[in-house]
Amino acid sequence: MTVVRRVDHIAIAVAHTDSALKYFSDRLGLAVVHTQVNLEPHVRLTYLDAGNVYIQLVEALDADSDAARFLATQGEGLHHICFAVDDVVGAAAFSGGVSKDSVVLGTGRGRDSAFVPGSPPSGVRIEYTEFRSEEDVDGVSGWLPGDATGR
């Protein structure tokens, strides 16, 4: 059984991170808290603080990558939802109905992560990442500062 501790991030596939930031950062006011480029898969991941969850922008940097194929067939939009769990490999294996040996680990924000293998339920891909109480609960307020104008 998988025990979900929290929603870690909601990932949005984008053609160009800089263009997407004009909306998410400039218009919505979400601050960029982390950016990284992964070589495998070759993507740029940009995390924006949305209070008690991150918005992750996923930009394909290789025309042959899964992210590029997703953009070509689905267009920009929801790519996946990521849940924080205590056991990434166990959760992905259990949710996908496969052995732990067949789970492929990735990384984001310095944490192990893994997608649930197989066809996504309801058309939404699910990813798991490490839950860290001191960072995910104790170290965050759960809301964004601002006044009635949203600033």
Per-residue pLDDT band at 40 (split at 50, 70, 90): confident
Name the CATH topology of 4-138: 2,3-Dihydroxybiphenyl 1,2-Dioxygenase; domain 1 (3.10.180)
Contact (Cβ atoms closer than 8 angstroms) between residue 12 and residue 77? yes
Average pLDDT over the chain, rounded to an integer: 92
* 3 state DSSP class of 8: strand
Per domain, the residue ranges of the chain are 4-138
What was the pLDDT predicted at 148?
A: 53
Average pLDDT over residues 90-112: 93
pLDDT value of residue 27: 96
pLDDT in tens, 44-92: 999 999 998 999 999 999 999 889 999 999 999 999 999 999 999 999 9
* Those residues with Cβ within 8 angstroms of residue 7's Cβ, 6 or more apart along the chain or in another chain: 52, 53, 81, 82, 83, 84
CB 85 within 8 A of CB 128: yes
Does pLDDT of 149 surpass 60? no
